[in-house]
Structure 1
Amino acid sequence: MVSIYQLKSRFQQGLRPLLGTLVKLGIRANHVTLFAMLSSIGYGLWLWRDAGSPLPWALLPLFLFLRMALNAIDGMLAREHGQQSCLGGILNEAGDVVSDAALYLPFALIAPTPLLAVLCVLLAFLTEYIGVLGPMLGASRRYDGPFGKSDRAFAYGLGALLLAWNPGWAVLADWAFAAASALLLFTCANRARAILAEGDKRV
């Protein structure tokens, strides 16, 4: 299934020159993971406080790109510099869902039906939970689309730009969240199907 996640390897190559500098500065993967989560919470609080201002919405795509870069960097530091740990795995998975909630729940403030925006966040949690179940069931961690983490960041970033440009776009938010919910359910099904297929092959 086509997903922006498939561009991850190229994205990582562009960030790799930074790794040596971070290691020399004593910055570890867990430091990056915590910074990404805490900064996401801070940005989300800004969105809640100033939801009527175009500035936080206009800058959200830039912040989402930064968050994606931080997520890639912490993974590369862990794998390529011997920093993998159980704590790091917990922080990585928990940090992603906490950051998603912090950054995406403020969209409920502009949606005609706020519960649809909340539903999308809950379904995003479900997609990641199913993905994490892979190793527990004899399969790999699944990142299948069509609406994985990177795809969601792109969609929310685009929505934020539209809101910053013209707040009137908010009247269409329910349709966008309904479509996103359908894509998230499809993503859940794809990940579950991939885990089952991979697990069956190993039996």
Structure 2
Amino acid sequence: MGWIYKVLCLGAATSAGYARIIGVGGHKMGEEEGASRRPIASRSSSWAIGLSAWLARSGATPNGISLLSVVFAGIGAALIVFTTHPIAMVCAAISVQLRLVCNLLDGMVAIEGGKKTKSGPLYNEFPDRVADSLFLVAAGYACGFGWLGWLAALLAALTAYIRVFGGSVGLPQDFSGIMAKQRRMAVLTAGLLAQSVETLVSGGHWSLILASAVIAAGSLVTCITRTITLARSLERL
């Protein structure tokens, strides 16, 4: 269980840096709503609009929804690490998607629902980093390569740090890259579903090994490309 404590420490350390960078403001960091908001196509879907409106009317808070994403991540991580049953891998994949739904709805309730809070930036970033780390570290340990899970989690946190740092110096936050959050979670979801089949067929763990390696490598490339874009944008200021 020591790795769970380390995950929380990683989330705390990276989020402490974010807190210094972003200060206080709306729920979606420093929000001047647009440049600092991740483009998500499903935000304009009827189900998302209807569900976020219902949550806002029901008294749900964006900060609470953000924290709920960590609950789903914790459940998913436990399923990945402590079980080997194929159904558990499918349930873990569902947990990944439920975490993403929370990430979508917290911002919609905050902005469209008019429930932004001064502490919103903290709740927007901290749960994300913890949730990412729980999933990725768990996948690494489950496939027998704990270091690979930690590497993927560290690089995932760094992609977010570079994005937020760009926003802190007056640039639009850069959500680009081959392994932004949605793609990381898409790769992990695919890996978990493939692992459920692989467990039945051979009992191996190559699906999770491959998914973890792709996430780590893609996150490294994303860090590099975002840093290059950031440097060029700063030179043009």
- TM-score where L is the length of structure 1: 0.86
How far the C-alpha of 1:169 sits from its partner, in A, is 4.8
| Aligned match of 2:44 | 13
Decide whether aligned partners of structure 1 residues 142 and 169 sit closer, same or farther in structure 2, where only a CA change above 3 A counts. Answer: farther
- TM-score where L is the length of structure 2: 0.74
| Aligned match of 1:109 | 141
Alignment of 1:1-203 (within 5 A): 8-9=40-41, 11-14=42-45, 15-50=48-83, 52-167=84-199, 168-171=203-206, 173-201=208-236, 203=237
Answer with 179-188 or 23-32: which moved more. 179-188
How far apart, in 1, do the equivalents of 2:70 and 2:207 lie? 29
Read off the aligned partner of 1:108 and give its amino acid letter.
Answer: G
Q: Is the 8 A contact 2:178 2:222 kept in 1?
A: yes
Answer with 170-179 or 98-107: which moved more. 170-179
| Aligned match of 2:20 | none
User: Percent identity over the alignment?
Assistant: 24
Instruction: Flag structure 2 segments of 5+ consecutive residues without an equivalent.
Output: 1-37
Q: Is the 8 A contact 1:138 1:199 kept in 2?
A: no
Decide whether aligned partners of structure 1 residues 40 and 174 sit closer, same or farther in structure 2, where only a CA change above 3 A counts. Answer: closer
How far the C-alpha of 1:152 sits from its partner, in A, is 0.5
How far the C-alpha of 1:175 sits from its partner, in A, is 4.7
Q: Is the 8 A contact 2:93 2:189 kept in 1?
A: yes
How far the C-alpha of 1:19 sits from its partner, in A, is 2.2
Decide whether aligned partners of structure 1 residues 182 and 48 sit closer, same or farther in structure 2, where only a CA change above 3 A counts. Answer: closer
Decide whether aligned partners of structure 1 residues 175 and 63 sit closer, same or farther in structure 2, where only a CA change above 3 A counts. Answer: closer
Answer with 29-38 or 192-201: which moved more. 192-201
**Larger relative contact order (CA 8 Å, sep ≥ 6):** 1
How far apart, in 1, do the equivalents of 2:206 and 2:172 lie? 40
Q: Is the 8 A contact 1:112 1:171 kept in 2?
A: no
- Matched residue count: 195
How far apart, in 2, do the equivalents of 1:102 and 1:57 lie? 15
Instruction: Flag structure 1 segments of 5+ consecutive residues without an equivalent.
Output: none
How far apart, in 2, do the equivalents of 1:112 and 1:61 lie? 19
The structure carrying a bigger helix percent of its residues is 1
Answer with 192-201 or 127-136: which moved more. 192-201
How far apart, in 1, do the equivalents of 2:53 and 2:216 lie? 40
Decide whether aligned partners of structure 1 residues 124 and 92 sit closer, same or farther in structure 2, where only a CA change above 3 A counts. Answer: same
Decide whether aligned partners of structure 1 residues 171 and 134 sit closer, same or farther in structure 2, where only a CA change above 3 A counts. Answer: same
Q: Is the 8 A contact 1:112 1:173 kept in 2?
A: no
Q: Is the 8 A contact 1:162 1:169 kept in 2?
A: no
Q: Is the 8 A contact 1:28 1:77 kept in 2?
A: yes
How far apart, in 1, do the equivalents of 2:121 and 2:157 lie? 16
How far the C-alpha of 1:96 sits from its partner, in A, is 0.5
Q: Deviations over 1:138-197 (max 9, x none)?
A: 212221110010001110001101111112451465454334322111100122222223
Answer with 169-178 or 116-125: which moved more. 169-178
| Aligned match of 2:35 | none
